[in-house]
Structure 1
Amino acid sequence: MEFKLNKIEDWEQVVQEILPELKHNILLLKGNLGAGKTTFSKYLLKALGSNDEVSSPTYAIVNEYHTPKGDIFHFDLYRIKNIGEVYDIGMDEYLDRAYLCIIEWPEVYEEELAGQPYHEMRIETTPEGRKICFS
């Protein structure tokens, strides 16, 4: 699926179209700094019924949110240097008990996901706004 965003409110429509397609409990978010990964996450959590305040997990590495469907864990692996550090934060345990794990900057962990089903969303900034590719 592909989307083009011109204004921040367009995220709401993107989320409404993606929600029915979320079949797996892992969502990888890729994009440059400031592309909108956390903004997308805010709209997604709201649509899933969370009343929690959503913020970037840059410093905490993982934030936990509650929804009527289950717990959502939002990761930012930007500062993680190697796969050992990913396991040190307990990634497997989070995956086992999550309704959904949203993982920003997943590149350090992506190879470990071979054979597991997951979704990927790429957010590119363009002069007109944002281009979103979801699979």
Structure 2
Amino acid sequence: MQFTIHTIEDWQEIVNTITPDLKHNILLLKGNLGAGKTTFTQFLLKNLGSEDEVNSPTYSIVNEYNTPKGKVYHFDLYRLKNIEEVYDIGIEEYLDHSFLCIIEWPEVYEQELYDLKYHTMSIVNTGESREILFE
């Protein structure tokens, strides 16, 4: 699915559209700094019924949120240098015990997902809008 958004409020329409299509418990978020990955996650968690405050996990690496359907883990792998550091945070344990894992900057870990099913959302900030591709 492809979307174009022009305002922050447009994220809600995207979340409403893709939430029923979330069939896998892993969602990779790709996009440059400031593209809207965490903003999207805020809208998604609210849509999933979470009352938790959603913040970027840039420094904590992973944030945990509660939803009526189960735990959601929100990762930011930007600062991790290699796959060993990803395994050191226990990512496999999170993947095994979650309703949903949202992974920002997944490139350092993506090759390890070859045998798992997951969704990918790419966000491109064009300056005037954001172009979104959800698979």
TM-score (norm 1): 0.99
Partner of 2:99: 99
Distance 1:77 1:44 in 2: 19
Partner of 2:35: 35
Which residue identity does 2:95 align to in structure 1?
Answer: L
Partner of 2:20: 20
Distance 1:50 1:104 in 2: 19
Q: Kindly report the root-mean-square deviation, in angstroms, between the aligned alpha carbons of the 2 structures.
A: 0.4
Distance 1:92 1:106 in 2: 14
Mind listing any 5+ residue stretches in structure 1 that lack a counterpart? none
CA deviation after TM superposition for structure 1 residue 15, in Å = 0.2
1:77-115 superposed Cα distances (whole Å, 9 cap, x missing partner): 000000000000000000000000000000000000002
Distance 2:66 2:127 in 1: 35
Distance 2:78 2:126 in 1: 22
- 1:89 corresponds to 2:89: yes
Number of aligned residue pairs: 135
TM-score (norm 2): 0.99
Distance 2:6 2:87 in 1: 38
Partner of 1:2: 2
Percent of aligned pairs sharing the same letter? 67
Partner secondary structure for residue 95 of structure 1: helix
Distance 2:128 2:34 in 1: 15
Partner secondary structure for residue 56 of structure 1: coil
Distance 1:109 1:58 in 2: 16
Partner of 2:124: 124
